Structure 1
Amino acid sequence: SFILMLSVQLMLLFSVYRVEVDSGVESVLLPFKTTVSLPKDVKVTWTNDSGRIVHMDQRCSCNSIRLEEQYRLYRNRTEMKKRFNLGDFSLILKNPTDRDSDTYTCSITNSSGNVLIKKQVLLNVKASQDVLTVKVEVDDWEPSVVLPCQYSQRLEEIVTVKWSRLDLNPNIVHQRQEADDLRGQNELFKERTSMRPEALDSGDFSLTLTEPQVSDSGVYIC
């Protein structure tokens, strides 16, 4: 006689959940809650449709799992509430823009790397009518480059103009409210940025960046 041992791996795949928000909101929640009983040690990985790592976390009794590199587009913009014991693996994505519109997949794997459960969320970030994307190209030998930003409507109150790059921490490139306020400026741009003196009166919020270099490549938001 003999004993036949059969190992079966069960992977649960849920239908795609759709989330839609307007560009400019502070954050958006990519929901994933499950009542499935999971082992104590699991790894949670959120990826985009291209397979890039959006966020990675773990529920583990040890620190033996090496977390892979998060894709730079999402650095300093993702957060999980650590409610794994409640079956909540939802992801918070901060400052979403239309570039974040994508299909996101959350995979929960065990200590052997086997996928136990998977969930997909389709995120659609609607671009605001006030959002305009402009592509600027410059050679690295140019002394400076202008990032254009004009506002045609009359400003009735004091406003703050903030230039930022969300893939950096801190993300402030330049900021002005009546006068330049560079206290939180990223060190990469120290003494390299300027705005026109009459910017708040003219509505021309364009930013001049001196000594442009390859590391300056990115998406700047005014």
Structure 2
Amino acid sequence: MDVPKVEVDSGVESVQLPCKATLHLPEDVTVEWTDRKNRKVHVYEDDSDQPEEQHQVYRDRTKMNEDLLKTGDLSLTLNHPTEEDTDTYTCTAYSRRGRVLMKERVQLYVGVPQVEVDSGVESVLLLCKATVHLPKDAKVEWKDDYYYDDYYYDDYYYDDYYKRKVHVYENSSDQPHKQDQVYRDRTTVKRNLLKTGDLSLTLKYPTDGDNHTYTCTVYSRWKRILMEKQVTLKVRESDGFDETMRAASVPHQKESDRSSSLYTPVDFY
């Protein structure tokens, strides 16, 4: 049987993953949403949600209908979907004794726009427009997807995206000391960005070392995500590109410096 597909663009506030009960559900039913890695996306048990059972990636980002047992609508709402959420999700209903009553799957694809430029250009603009009203005390962070790591430890599966801070705007001003040194003196955002809603980032002297997916995230004062949008940068190598220009455009990073760079795990709020 074909798995239904849901497609959305990065930057939408939320996406709904559909799941309808195919039989009558008992009052003591347990409903679990899991991803392809069998991480728990959302758990409903004992007539209530169980957020402590969620994987941290999905913490504070999911919800189900309050009257799901009455309506049989087990659909899941996932807030602020990003490229990392592109996956196959499984909705499973269990009896009190753990017997599988029903199981449905749905594929989610989150599309990310791509910007392409030739190496040697002076700068590139990574677009991000606010889709919500931004409070005056909002924090804006641009991060890259430096690398992804997954591993097993003590029979548990772990996975982390390590993202470098590209640009930070907080307390009504830029915070260059919070940037990773790779981007130091290479980024700018527009003035009055919270008022205009234009959170776009200008990245100077892009090279193929900047080929990443960049995430623009806006947080409230209480660190709640207000919006999140991504854009992928592709810098094409030009024929005869001067290597001295590359060396001049990107600060040299010693091995000793790398250990102190701001390689920070993705924040989950």
- Fold shared, TM-score > 0.5 on shorter chain: yes
Structure 1 residue runs of 4+, over 3 Å off?
65-68, 173-177, 211-214
What is the TM-score normalised by the length of structure 1? 0.58
* Secondary structure in 2 matching 1:51: coil
CA deviations 1:80-137 (Å, max 9, x no partner) are 1222111011101111111111110010111111111111011111122259xxxxxx
Q: From the CA coordinates, give the structure whose radius of gyration is larger.
A: 1
Aligned residue in 1 for 2:266? 218
Is 1:203 aligned to 2:199, yes or no? Answer: no
Give the distance between the partners of 2:33 and 2:104, measured in 1 at CA: 9
Give the distance between the partners of 1:54 and 1:66, measured in 2 at CA: 10
Does the aligned pair in 2 maintain the 1:43–1:59 contact within 8 Å?
yes
Does the aligned pair in 2 maintain the 1:20–1:124 contact within 8 Å?
yes
Aligned residue in 1 for 2:73? 88
Change (3 A) 1:55 1:150: farther
Aligned-pair CA distance for 1:199? 2.6
Unaligned runs of at least 5 residues, structure 2: 117-122, 144-159, 161-166, 191-200, 205-213, 215-259
* Secondary structure in 1 matching 2:81: coil
Aligned residue in 2 for 1:51? 38
Does the aligned pair in 1 maintain the 2:42–2:50 contact within 8 Å?
no
Identity within the alignment, %: 35
Aligned-pair CA distance for 1:66? 7.6
Give the distance between the partners of 1:43 and 1:152, measured in 2 at CA: 43
Supply the AA of the counterpart residue of 2:173.
Answer: D
Aligned-pair CA distance for 1:175? 3.3
CA deviations 1:27-83 (Å, max 9, x no partner) are 1000112252111111110000111111111254xx8x9876311211121111222
Change (3 A) 1:109 1:164: farther
Q: Which has the higher helix share?
A: 2
Is 1:77 aligned to 2:61, yes or no? Answer: yes
Give the distance between the partners of 1:109 and 1:82, measured in 2 at CA: 18
Does the aligned pair in 2 maintain the 1:83–1:89 contact within 8 Å?
no
Change (3 A) 1:45 1:130: farther
Is 1:151 aligned to 2:136, yes or no? Answer: no
Aligned residue in 2 for 1:162? 140
Aligned residue in 1 for 2:5? 18
Aligned-pair CA distance for 1:193? 2.7
Is 1:38 aligned to 2:25, yes or no? Answer: yes
Change (3 A) 1:66 1:161: closer
How large is the RMSD of aligned CA atoms in angstroms?
4.4
Unaligned runs of at least 5 residues, structure 1: 1-13, 132-148, 168-172, 183-190
Aligned residue in 2 for 1:180? 173
Give the distance between the partners of 2:65 and 2:24, measured in 1 at CA: 19
Change (3 A) 1:151 1:117: same
Give the distance between the partners of 1:41 and 1:164, measured in 2 at CA: 44
What is the TM-score normalised by the length of structure 2? 0.49
Does the aligned pair in 2 maintain the 1:21–1:28 contact within 8 Å?
yes
Q: Which has the higher strand share?
A: 2
Change (3 A) 1:57 1:36: same
Aligned residue in 2 for 1:108? 93
Does the aligned pair in 1 maintain the 2:51–2:59 contact within 8 Å?
no
Does the aligned pair in 2 maintain the 1:98–1:125 contact within 8 Å?
yes
